[in-house]
Structure 1
Amino acid sequence: MGRDKRNEKLSGFVPLLFRTTDAPAWVALNVYAKALFPMMKKRAGPHGSQNGKFSLSVREAAEYLGCSKDTATRAMHELQAKGFAFPVRVGALGAQGLGNASEWRVTDTATPDRKPATCEFLQWQPGQEYPVKRGKRPPKKTKPCPTR
C-alpha cells in the first residue's frame, strides 16, 4: 500500500517576496540585516498573527546571527533606517539589570488588527534614511567629587 502524501505537512517556511528582495533598500542592506529580517518575519507569525507584538532583544539577535551585540544593534538600526522593521515599543534595561526587549513590526506583513502592510522600504531612497528609535541607556556611574 502506498502512503497518502496529501496528509503530509510541509515544514514551516518564511516567504521572502520578490518585491522585498528586489527593492533598492534590500540591496543596500548589509549581510547581518539581511540575515536578521527572516528571523523577524518568522516571529511575526503566519499571516502576521504576531506582527507588532513580537519581542526581539539585541542579545537574542546577536546569538542568532553569531555576532557581537554591537553588530546586531547595527543590523536592527539598519532595518529601521531602510524601512523594513520598526519598534512598536522600545526596550530598556531596568534598574535591577532586568531588561525588556523591544516589540517589533515588520512592514511587509499585515498586522493582526487588519492594518495592511505598509512597505516603507519601497519608498526608501539612498541618503534618505528613516529615523532610528534607540533604547535609553542607563545613566553612567559618576565618580563623586573629591572633598578637601
Structure 2
Amino acid sequence: MSKPYKHHKRGAGRHVQLPEWLQASEAWATLPPGPRALYIELKRRYNGTNNGKIILSHRDAASALNVHRNTVGPWFRELEERGFIDLTQAPHLGPSGIGKASVWALGEVATLGSRPIDLVAIGASD
C-alpha cells in the first residue's frame, strides 16, 4: 500500500530565495520594510531565466503590496540606488497608444552580457 502523504507530491512549489550574503549586506540591513517587500515581489516574478525581462508596473506593484500607487515610486528608486534592481526598459506608450510597463532586472542575478553585482562591497548608500 502506498503512503497517503506522498500521493501526488511533485515538489515544494514555487518559493522566493534570498541568499544569506544578500541578507547579511549592509545595503539590505538598512533597507526599510517597503522596499524590501517590493524586492520580494520582483523576485517572485523571476522564474530563473527572465532576468532583465521582469515586467512590473507601479500600479501592479501597489496592488500586490496593498499600498497606493504613488507610494511605490520612491521604493523603486531606492532599490535602484542601492543596486538591487536595474531598469532595463522604461515605461512608454506602445504603437497603439496602450501603455507598456517598466521592465526590470535583479542586480544579484546575471543577465545576458552582464555579471551580478556584489552588494556586500557596495554597502548602504546614504
What is the CA–CA distance in structure 1 between the aligned matches of 2:34 and 2:40, rounded to whole Å? 11
- Following superposition, the deviation at residue 43 of structure 1 comes to 1.3
> Could you tell me whether the CA contact under 8 Å between 2:80 and 2:86 is conserved in 1?
yes
> Could you tell me whether the CA contact under 8 Å between 1:44 and 1:52 is conserved in 2?
no
What is the CA–CA distance in structure 2 between the aligned matches of 1:69 and 1:120, rounded to whole Å? 30
Q: Find the counterpart in structure 1 of residue 85 from structure 2.
A: 85
> Could you tell me whether the CA contact under 8 Å between 2:35 and 2:78 is conserved in 1?
yes
Q: Find the counterpart in structure 1 of residue 28 from structure 2.
A: 26
Q: Find the counterpart in structure 2 of residue 11 from structure 1.
A: 13
User: How many residue pairs were aligned?
Assistant: 124
- Following superposition, the deviation at residue 91 of structure 1 comes to 0.8
What is the CA–CA distance in structure 1 between the aligned matches of 2:123 and 2:45, rounded to whole Å? 27
Structure 1 unmatched runs, 5+: 129-148
TM-score, length of structure 2 as denominator length: 0.83
What is the CA–CA distance in structure 2 between the aligned matches of 1:104 and 1:10, rounded to whole Å? 27
Structure 2 unmatched runs, 5+: none
SS at match of 2:63: helix
Does residue 60 of the first structure (1) align with residue 60 of the second (2)?
yes
TM-score, length of structure 1 as denominator length: 0.72
Larger-Rg structure: 1
What is the CA–CA distance in structure 2 between the aligned matches of 1:80 and 1:26, rounded to whole Å? 13
> Could you tell me whether the CA contact under 8 Å between 2:53 and 2:105 is conserved in 1?
yes
Query: Which 4+ runs in 1 deviate beyond 2 A?
Result: 2-7, 113-116, 119-128
Q: Find the counterpart in structure 2 of residue 99 from structure 1.
A: 99
Q: Using a 3 Å threshold, how does the CA distance of structure 1 residues 21 and 126 change in structure 2: closer, same or farther? A: closer
What is the CA–CA distance in structure 1 between the aligned matches of 2:39 and 2:85, rounded to whole Å? 8
SS at match of 1:62: helix
Q: Find the counterpart in structure 2 of residue 136 from structure 1.
A: none
> Could you tell me whether the CA contact under 8 Å between 2:82 and 2:125 is conserved in 1?
no
Q: Find the counterpart in structure 2 of residue 49 from structure 1.
A: 49
What is the CA–CA distance in structure 2 between the aligned matches of 1:31 and 1:81, rounded to whole Å? 16
Report the residue type matching 1:26 in the other structure. Answer: W
Instruction: Please give the root-mean-square deviation of Cα atoms over the aligned residues, in Å.
Output: 2.5
What is the CA–CA distance in structure 2 between the aligned matches of 1:40 and 1:125, rounded to whole Å? 21
- Following superposition, the deviation at residue 105 of structure 1 comes to 0.4
